[in-house]
Amino acid sequence: MVETLLRAFFAWLIYPGFLFLVIAGILVEGLRRGFAARVEGREGPSLIQGLFELGKLFRRAAMVPIGYEPPETDTAAHQLAATRREGSRWGLFAIPVFGILALSTGAVLLPLPGNLWPYLNNADKALGADLLATSLLFLVPALGAVLLGSMGGSVYSQLAGARIFQLLVACAVPYAVAVFGPALALGRLDLQAVAAADSLPMLGVKALCGMLFLLCLPVILRLKPLSASSGEVLEGFTNDLGGPPLALFYLAQWMERLALSMFFAVVFMPFAFNNIVFFLVGTLFALGLIGIIDALFSHVRLRDAFNFYLRYTNPAALGWLVLLALAVKV
């Protein structure tokens, strides 16, 4: 019992959970900024510049969006507005913290090399639906960005939140087909079983689902081509999000990029669940693709992005789902 608790504590707090995602996420962000700087022909910041920025933000005061301010003569409305501002203050902290906790928990469920989570190799205590749990946990930061946008006192932040939500809805079907396609072919929602399936037909299924998953990453990660434009941002002067909440938001975003890249490697990269080389290759490939898209592609209008996913990606995903279902039946 004691050994089980110690293994669970180590997995969640150190590797592959919280501390690993924090440290590696900051380093990955430094590499991404360095690559973007080289593309633009300038010298980039240091590898740990993100750590300095987080420290600077944590030393600042937390600002709460004011929103609508009722007339001074309306005492009841003023009290209600004060209550809402206090709720917003707690929400600005709680939403990114919840995203960080969700990412740390989801990373623990991944069958990574060296993961000491005590229930991975225990068939009697296996969750059985950890693929579903992990895929939902890794969506929490994206949904948190929608909530942060809706809480903003500026119409620009609310537009940004609405943009993110619309794109998430547009790629919901492709994301679900990509994540659960291998599980459908295998007939199990056990993440370790899906990761360990390396037969030739399964490798073909994983390859097609992996490409579909990569098409959804720019939306889920809010990369620059599909992010809010310069007038619709979730931080800065447009909605007064700053201080520790902004630092937590950035940290969750950096952890999210690494966690989803690890998820890609484990689920879609063959032999990655028990081979550190294949795992690193798959993770670095996803991270490199994220960095290239973020640095080299310009902003895409919401209408164009929405039409792309609805007209092309969704029908392709549904067609692939039907083929998978027929193949399983046959």
CB within 8 A of 56, min separation 6: which ones?
Answer: none
Q: What was the pLDDT predicted at 238?
A: 46
Q: How confident is the model at residue 75 (pLDDT cuts 50, 70, 90)?
A: low
pTM of the model: 0.89
Q: What angle do CA 228, 284, 11 make, to 5 degrees?
A: 95
Q: Which residues touch 129 (CB under 8 Å, ≥6 apart)?
A: 189, 190
Structural domains in the chain (count): 1
Give the pLDDT confidence of 173-197 residue by residue, as tens digits.
999 999 999 999 988 888 888 998 9
**How many other C-beta atoms can be found within 10 angstroms of the C-beta atom of residue 170?**
20
**What is the tens place of the pLDDT at every residue in 202-220?**
999 999 999 999 999 999 9
Give residue-wise pLDDT tens across range 278-322: 999 999 999 999 999 988 888 888 889 999 999 999 999 999 999
Q: Which of 152, 176, 177 is nearest to 163 (CA)?
A: 152
Q: Which CA distances in Å does 141 have to 57, 95, 112, 154, 221? A: 19, 8, 22, 21, 9
Tell the residue number behind the tokens 């679900």, with chain if given: 176
Looking at this protein, which amino acid is placed at residue 221? L
Note whether 235 and 62 are within 8 A (CB).
no
* Domain with 89 in it: 2-329
Pick left, alpha or beta for residue 187 (phi over 0 → left; psi -120 to 50 → alpha; otherwise beta).
left
CA 269 – CA 92 distance, rounded (Å): 36
Question: For residues 51, 158, 214 and 24, what is the CA-based torsion angle, rounded to 10 degrees?
Answer: 10
